[in-house]
């Protein structure tokens, strides 16, 4: 199936996401992708009345459908109606939450090409309105997850735009971010970090 952006450019999934090629060496991981872990976490939050946070749907326009048989339809070509912003948003204790989730196989750095200019601009608008905005970064080879507040990402993004390095080093993420250990329920307890960072406990 072919997808295209609003400008007609063909959509090609980022190589660095590599979600379906993740190693399944760790029992704690259970072969789950970052997105699946976050979705399960959000379901836990919702079921326990902790927070209401959901993955944003991506609107598409279907342009070609095949009907190989009466009971089935196969989408052959579609276009994204608009550029996506971030992956997740919702409400927690009266605060607006907005975040993006990315992962990489790299061991010592996190490529900024994982992000897009329109996503960074969206994060800027959230911060301007005093919303809580961050990114969840996963080093999939080592199963390390960090919460990095958006203002740090904006700093590294500006550095790149000014001609600096095109990635965040692992040391920079460890210094400015907050590690999150994989758990059982919830899987990725980012709300616990939000409580600490924004004095919401």
Q: Summarize pLDDT for 106-159 with one digit per residue, the tens.
A: 999 999 999 999 999 999 999 999 999 999 999 999 999 999 999 999 999 999
Considering the domain boundaries, does residue 36 fall inside one? yes
Considering the domain boundaries, does residue 145 fall inside one? yes
Burial of 199 (0-12, 13-18, 19+ CB in 10 A): exposed
Considering the domain boundaries, does residue 18 fall inside one? no
Q: Which domain holds residue 136?
A: 27-57+83-197
- Distant-in-sequence, close-in-space partners of 188: CB < 8 Å, separation ≥ 6: 37, 38, 41, 136, 145, 180, 182
Asked if residues 87 and 95 have their Cβ atoms less than 8 Å apart, the reply is no
Nearest Cα neighbor of 101 from 185, 38, 188 is: 38
Strand pairing class (144-149; 178-180):
antiparallel
Enter the pTM of the model: 0.75
The residue among 107 and 201 whose pLDDT is bigger is 107
- Distant-in-sequence, close-in-space partners of 103: CB < 8 Å, separation ≥ 6: 16, 17, 18, 19, 34, 137, 138, 139, 140
User: 56 pLDDT band (50/70/90 cuts)?
Assistant: confident
Asked if residues 2 and 78 have their Cβ atoms less than 8 Å apart, the reply is yes
Considering the domain boundaries, does residue 186 fall inside one? yes
Q: What is the pLDDT of residue 77?
A: 65
Whether residue 187 has pLDDT greater than 60: yes
Considering the domain boundaries, does residue 158 fall inside one? yes
Considering the domain boundaries, does residue 65 fall inside one? no
Considering the domain boundaries, does residue 76 fall inside one? no
Report residue 130 CA to chain centroid gap.
20
What is the total count of domains within the chain?
1
Asked if residues 90 and 51 have their Cβ atoms less than 8 Å apart, the reply is yes
d(CA 128, CA 102): 23
d(CA 36, CA 42): 10
């Amino acid at each position: 199936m072919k997808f295209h952006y609003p400008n007609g450019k063909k959509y090609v999934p980022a190589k660095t996401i590599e979600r379906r090629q993740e190693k399944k060496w760790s029992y704690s991981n259970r072969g789950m992708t970052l997105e699946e872990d976050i979705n399960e976490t959000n379901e836990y939050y919702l079921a326990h009345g902790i927070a209401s946070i959901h993955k944003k749907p991506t609107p598409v326009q279907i342009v070609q459908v095949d009907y190989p048989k009466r009971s089935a339809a196969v989408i052959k070509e579609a276009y994204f109606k608009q550029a996506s912003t971030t992956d997740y948003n919702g409400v927690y204790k009266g605060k607006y939450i907005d975040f993006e989730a990315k992962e990489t196989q790299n061991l010592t750095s996190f490529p900024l090409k994982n992000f897009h200019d329109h996503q960074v601009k969206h994060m800027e608008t959230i911060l301007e309105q005093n919303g809580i905005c961050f990114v969840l970064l996963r080093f999939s080879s080592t199963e390390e997850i960090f919460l990095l507040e958006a203002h740090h990402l904006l700093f590294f993004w500006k550095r790149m735009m000014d001609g600096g390095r095109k990635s965040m080093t692992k040391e920079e993420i460890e210094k400015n971010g907050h590690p999150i250990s994989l758990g059982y329920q919830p899987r990725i307890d980012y709300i616990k970090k939000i409580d600490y960072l924004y004095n919401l406990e």
